[in-house]
Chain A
Amino acid sequence: MLKKYLLSCFICLFLVSFTLTGCGQQASSTSEGQQAEQVLVVGARDFVRTLDNGFLLVEKTHIAETLLTMDENYRIQPVLATSWKQVEDNVWEFTLREGVRFHDGAPLTAADAAYAIERVVNANPRVKGLTKITSVMAAGDQTLRITTGELNLLLPEALTGADLCILSRESFNEKGELTRPIGTGPFKFTSWDQATGEVIVEKNFNYWGAVPRLSKMVFKPIPDANTRALALEKGEIDFTFDLPYGELDRLNKVPGVKVALYPEPRIYRLELNMTREPFNDLRVRQALNHAIDRTGIVKNVLHDCGTATIGPFVQDAPWCNREVEGSYSYDPDKARSLLTEAGWVDKNGDGIREKDGKPFAITIMTWSSRPGMPPMAEALQAQFREIGIDAKVQILEYGTIYDNVKKGNWDTVLASFQTSDPHKYLASVYGSNGSQNVAKYVNDEVDALIDQAARTAVPEKRYAIYRQVQEIITRDTPVINIACYKMAVGMRDYVKGFKFNPNAHDLHTNPGMYVEKRVER
């Protein structure tokens, strides 16, 4: 009986495996056919839940464009606006590029730009806070007039943000929901599959700039890093990023695959709830800083896909204060004595310190879409244990974590955020009204300096102020910085024309990318 059963099982298995391999071959032959017409298949890390996302529309799919952009040397460059001037303290005028048309053929006018910017400013308090825009209006066909509530010399910088991309009003339904993104970019929207999250864009032949060589880009969400790596190896996707860090060396040796690392202005940081014990004590925060073996974490957790750091910015950014790097050496003994000084002592001999009968027990919350964070939390847990802190790691959804943070129901969060715009970063994380100031850190000196920076037009002078801010926040350490990100970008060797732009949210694809595939027959 059993033998018969087993035999039939095996036969079934063989049949299934034959069918599967058959399917696989079919799929690869069609993808080769697509290559001939210049298709780039991108393995995207994040599932596309909504199209109303500036990063997706501007930096990944190139459907929409902003008025201005920031180049890789952090200089502002014109895109849809060709020139701009501050006509009064709080009034700016932007001249729009001539001859630009939306994908539906309508010409871009100042009224369109005003509509697009107003929509975002009204919907997004963070953008409103950064731009300080109070009104946007057309002052002529190609002139856009923007009024700010107070002096904001950094308005052009703020307008490079992908959130403020210019979409035609035809993109929205009566309720103001984005239904079909119509922009001015080098690619136009083709389709979005809500079930798989796959987004397809096609070449815009009427683009005002250089028309791209790619005829089509396909964005295939593959949230798991290992699966992305396998898909790249197999040639199912041509381009992807955030590959599993432990696999980079091996992937680089796979024929036909290229992997490169780029320092990204993005920080891994441990956010602390400074409103409660024990983090309201500066000595405790300093002790945690000394307890972290940043170099060890970068080497073993990130496999060198990162740089150990004390300050929040990438080392080669012109506003980075490199002197703060010496502030907190890895020194568990010093950390222990700081904790003892703060009154945390292990009295019952269980290896965990107590104060007033309460053990030093904390929770580290983190999320898993960035492959480095869960193991980093585990490493922190062990390093905190060394100095007598009992840390529990919780891996949750991003949304759940920040719901808890909003309710004040948290100790620490291991997070990762972009730091490419120094003003935006310092103001939102360390400014007392900052949208990301979860620590509830308040320092009047920092607030005053950030204000002063917003009134300082000369970049070099402004950067000096930022350096001063970095010194203060390193001393007060409301947030513990651990490492800067490095983005692991992987592509098939026939993908050409990729240039990393550090200002993007994780990374840009470039509209100038193309596929150069040798035909092997």
Chain B
Amino acid sequence: MHETIGVFRTRFPLSRTLESLVRDRAALFGGVMVIVLALVALLAPWLAPHDPVKQDFAQALSLPSAEYPLGTDAMGRCLLSRLIYGARISLAVGLLAGGLAAGIGTLIGLVAGYYGGLVDELLMRLTDILMAFPNLVFVLAVVGTLGPGLQNTVMALVALGWLNFARVVRGTTLSLKESEFVLSARALGFSNARIMGRHILPNVLGPVIVLATFDIPHTILAVAGLSFLGLGAQPPTPEWGAMLNAGRTYMRTYPLLMIAPGIMITLTVLAFNLLGNALRDALDPRRRGSAADL
């Protein structure tokens, strides 16, 4: 599974990865969508025509117009502006929770795999125990005790999110530990930290990135779901899941209030998943070059 190219060379040449990504049309779509969403999130204050939390009862539930391109919600807030700012929240939450989980998981996996023995045993049994918790039940319990809110939701998701990363990284580290370039680095007398950081870490990043691209949409969906239930983002935060829930009251009369955030959630999750699929194929040495025939 892991070809040993050399001590200091990264094993995933960027150009080739990009090339296979571009050749795969689904991946291209996913990648472009993610970039567009990221731009929308970054440029929200300039793109949004209105303040997303500013209420104006005089404009409540108005249909799409030049002033309000997608109309307004029951509080007279611009739907388009809320969707745009919602991208900020969803991406920020996804990246933050995904990034934290990946960081913690990688660190734990590296340490466990590299040192082995008792350290490995302890960390992996902890992972096993936490793995036994049903994900959603755990998050609900945390939010139930600490109170609803985005911060607590993200904390709860990270608390279980790192497990997969730790397992994957540990496995890869175990096999890399015995590889020639690590053995030679050790023979040269490099410190453990340096071997882990400079020699093993770059080689486990591939699977970590792939896992993270799957973890981000999972997190976005989880947060949207919890916000829909009223446990995640609290009003008036323009979070897509919360907007979907608020729009539910007008499901039959002003369906756009529900459909629009729904589409945004679907598109975002789809984009990340497509990108993740393609990344997985592009970074998998066995399938290199065949990603386009997925």
Contacts and interface: CB of A to CB of B under 8 A. Distances in A.
A225 B248 CA distance: 10
A411 to B, nearest CB: 14
Given A299-B57, A392-B234, A395-B230, A379 B75 contact: yes
Contacts of A381: 235-236
Interface string B130-159: 000000000000000001100000000000
Interface in B246-270: 246, 248-254
B40 interface: no
A346 interface: no
Chain A interface mostly: helix
A244 B75 contact: no
B250 A247 contact: yes
A3 interface: no
Contact of A396 (B60, B148, B253): B148
Contacts of B61: 246, 300
Contacts, number: 68
A394 interface: yes
B55 A382 contact: yes
Nearest to A224: B248
A382 B57 CA distance: 11
Interface residues of A, number: 29
B262 to A, nearest CB: 15
A226 B249 contact: yes
B53 A382 contact: yes
Contact of A247 (B57, B236, B252): B252
Interface string A215-242: 0000000000110000000000000000
A94 B191 CA distance: 93
B76 interface: yes
Given A246-B250, A299-B57, A393 B74 contact: no
Interface stretch (A162-170, A281-289, A369-377, A452-460): A369-377
Nearest to B248: A226
A247 B249 contact: yes
Given A296-B57, A300-B57, A300-B74, A378 B236 contact: yes
25 contacts: A226-B248, A245-B249, A246-B249, A246-B253, A247-B251, A247-B252, A249-B253, A250-B252, A299-B57, A300-B57, A300-B74, A300-B75, A300-B76, A368-B230, A375-B74, A375-B246, A377-B235, A378-B236, A379-B55, A382-B55, A382-B75, A383-B55, A394-B148, A394-B234, A395-B148
Interface of A: 2, 225-226, 244-247, 249-250, 293, 296, 299-301, 368, 371, 374-375, 377-379, 381-383, 392-396
Closest 7 CB pairs between A and B? A382-B55, A296-B57, A378-B235, A300-B60, A300-B57, A393-B235, A395-B230
